[in-house]
């Protein structure tokens, strides 16, 4: 589904890196993940996403019976819970409907979450009704991709909290895709990247952490990198390249 800052185009690659790194981590910690206790420990191992977005990566993580997906955006979490509980998403949203929902967000928070991201240009929260010259049906496109991803997360737990308030059991695998440094977070508040990295160091003592970012402090190791093009408005000439990276605590 369309989502500004989402990782749908590179979700398979990032999830494969995490899956492979997790396998290596289990082998390294073989005293905990012993052969005799493999099934029991596998059941206890928890995967936690602190900024899940629309779960394009989370839906491709393997080997966890306990999955927690968190995001601070209320309408987004209501959408994911709604899909999990069988809510029927629309296959067409007109511009008039888009404008009405934008002005009446709390009438149906599930639908608002879907329209606010999935039917907006570039997946930016109510950033303008999505359209193009080929008349793409963005509602139908977003519905199909979201249902596909959610099919693998029907037993996941969805929470709406600040990332620092999520309860993290020891020996969890934690993935974080925070707002880029020097950008706004949720609402009008600037995201505090320094505080974020400090927190990753704290939870990284007892857990395996992975962070999607463009840069990281020196004590974090880059385990994957890819350059791609991003467009932020309807002017296709207004593009720029970014290097997406995945870091873990060294």
Phi and psi at residue 246, in whole multiples of 5°? -120, 125
The string of pLDDT tens digits covering residues 132-146 is: 999 999 999 999 999
How many other β-carbons are positioned within 10 Å of the β-carbon of residue 121? Answer: 19
pLDDT at 228: 74
How many other β-carbons are positioned within 10 Å of the β-carbon of residue 247? Answer: 24
**CA nearest to 172, candidates 136, 204, 141:** 204
Q: Are 210 and 51 in contact (CB under 8 A)?
A: no
pLDDT at 184: 45
How many other β-carbons are positioned within 10 Å of the β-carbon of residue 242? Answer: 12
Instruction: State the pLDDT confidence band at 12, using cuts at 50, 70 and 90.
Output: very high
Task: Specify burial of residue 34 (Cβ count, 10 A radius: 0-12, 13-18, 19+).
Answer: exposed
Question: Hey, CA dihedral for 103, 105, 110, 112, is it positive or negative?
Answer: positive
With a threshold of 0.85, does the pTM exceed it? yes
Q: Is the pLDDT of residue 42 over 50?
A: no
The string of pLDDT tens digits covering residues 195-248 is: 999 999 999 999 999 999 999 999 999 999 988 766 655 555 666 677 899 999
Joined tokens for residue 27: 């082998």
pLDDT at 241: 75
Angle (deg, nearest 10), helices 109-118 and 95-103: 120
Helix (H), strand (E) at residue 59? none
Instruction: State the pLDDT confidence band at 101, using cuts at 50, 70 and 90.
Output: very high
**Between residues 5 and 160, which one has the greater pLDDT?**
160
Q: Are 5 and 53 in contact (CB under 8 A)?
A: yes
* CB within 8 Å of 9: residues ≥ 6 apart: 228
**CA nearest to 186, candidates 55, 4, 49:** 4
Q: Is the pLDDT of residue 39 over 60?
A: no
Query: Which value, in Å, is the radius of gyration of the alpha carbons in the chain?
Result: 19
**CA nearest to 158, candidates 113, 203, 121:** 113
Q: Spell out the SS3 assignment of 157-184.
A: EEECCCHHHCCCCCCCEEEECCCCCCCE
Question: What class, spelled out in words, does domain 8-249 have in CATH?
Answer: alpha beta
């Amino acid at each position: 589904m369309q989502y500004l800052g989402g990782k749908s185009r590179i979700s398979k690659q990032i999830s494969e890196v995490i899956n492979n790194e997790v396998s290596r981590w289990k082998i390294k910690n073989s005293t905990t993940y012993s052969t005799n206790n493999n099934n029991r420990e596998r059941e206890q191992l928890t995967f936690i996403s602190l900024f899940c977005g629309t779960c394009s990566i989370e839906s491709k993580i393997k080997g966890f019976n306990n999955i927690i997906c968190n995001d601070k955006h209320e309408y987004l979490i209501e959408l994911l819970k709604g899909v999990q509980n069988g809510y029927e998403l629309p296959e067409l949203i007109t511009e008039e409907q888009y404008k009405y929902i934008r002005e009446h967000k709390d009438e149906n928070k599930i639908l608002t979450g879907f329209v606010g991201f999935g039917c907006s240009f570039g997946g930016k929260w109510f950033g303008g009704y999505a359209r193009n010259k080929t008349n793409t049906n963005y509602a139908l496109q977003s519905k199909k991709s979201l249902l596909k991803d959610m099919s693998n997360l029907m037993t996941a737990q969805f929470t709406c909290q600040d990332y620092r308030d999520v309860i993290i059991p020891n020996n969890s695998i934690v993935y974080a895709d925070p707002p880029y440094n020097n950008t706004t977070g949720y609402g009008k508040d600037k995201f505090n990247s320094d505080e974020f990295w400090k927190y990753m160091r704290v939870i990284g003592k007892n857990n395996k952490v992975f962070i999607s970012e463009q840069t990281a402090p020196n004590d974090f190791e880059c385990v994957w990198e890819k350059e791609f093009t991003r467009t932020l408005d309807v002017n296709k000439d207004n593009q720029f390249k970014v290097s997406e990276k995945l870091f873990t605590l060294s």
